Amino acid sequence: MNDFAWLYDWPQYIPDLLPGLWVAIAMTCVSCLFGYVLGFFLALLVEAPSKLVSYSALVVVELGRGIPILVLLFLFYQGLPQLGVLLAPYPAAVAALTFSAAGYSSEMIRAGLGAVPKGQSEAANSLSMSVVDTYRFIVIPQAARISIPPLVNLTIIIFQATSLATVITVPEIMQQAGIIGSATFEYMSVYTAAAVLYLCITIPGAALSGYLEERMGTPKQRSKKQAIKALLPAAGKLRTAEERQLTN
């Protein structure tokens, strides 16, 4: 038996794992959609004037950030039935991922909102703009430029975390890989194919995050980069002049 056969055998398992990939992508999209919306409202509530509201929202945020996703999966799938709430594997996994995404995204969004100068909100208030219009037209567009790149990174992490849903029998990539591996005993080939599928999503996602961070950086960051780019030609000319002087 060739111990290195898996190096060229793994592509044959890709078609069998594709249904699990679509399940993982769907879970990621749904979880992040609801999680980021919930995270946005949590970010606003944490900054609420009422200490009761602020501390209550902060508790939810810290629970979402502090409890591992694997534990959340078991809590939603096996714990809630004891309270009379019965969830199927897929909704339980989505609920767990949504709760975790909300906790982490809340802090990212809150950092973006906090980075917007307060003077702009005060100027909008002096123009008799409502709070809703101030957030809609002034605060949120600027905060989005700061928050979107880290949220893209968080989306990649949530996609990777869908692999944990195999413990509650959600038919995602790892669940499918386990079934195929048990039937063929070609575990190295099967899990290599699974790894390739994850990389096909995470590598372009990381590249997108870097691109967005480059394009959507804060004005201060962009001005520094533009200044550096402007200095490079001058530095090159100075170096050329020094080399000429040395040769002469």
DSSP classification of residue 178: H
Q: Which two tokens mark 222? A: 């962009």
User: In degrees, to the nearest 5, what angle opens at C-alpha 163 toward C-alphas 160 and 165?
Assistant: 130
Report the interhelical angle of 14-46 vs 89-115 (nearest 10°): 50
Chain segment 96-127, per-residue pLDDT in tens: 999 999 999 999 999 998 888 888 777 777 77
Across 150-168, average pLDDT: 95
CA distance 5 to 206: 31
pLDDT digits (tens, 9 = 90+) for 22-59: 999 999 999 999 999 999 999 999 988 899 999 999 99
- Radius of gyration (Cα) for the chain, nearest Å? 24
What angle (nearest 5°) sits at the alpha carbon of residue 36, between those of residues 170 and 75? Answer: 40
pTM of the full predicted structure? Answer: 0.83
Beta-strand (E) ranges in the chain?
Answer: none
Quick one: pLDDT at residue 227? 38
Question: Is 212's pLDDT higher than 90?
Answer: no
Inter-CA distances, 37 with 72, 86, 105, 138, 139, Å = 19, 24, 9, 19, 16
pLDDT band at 239 (very low <50, low <70, confident <90, very high): very low
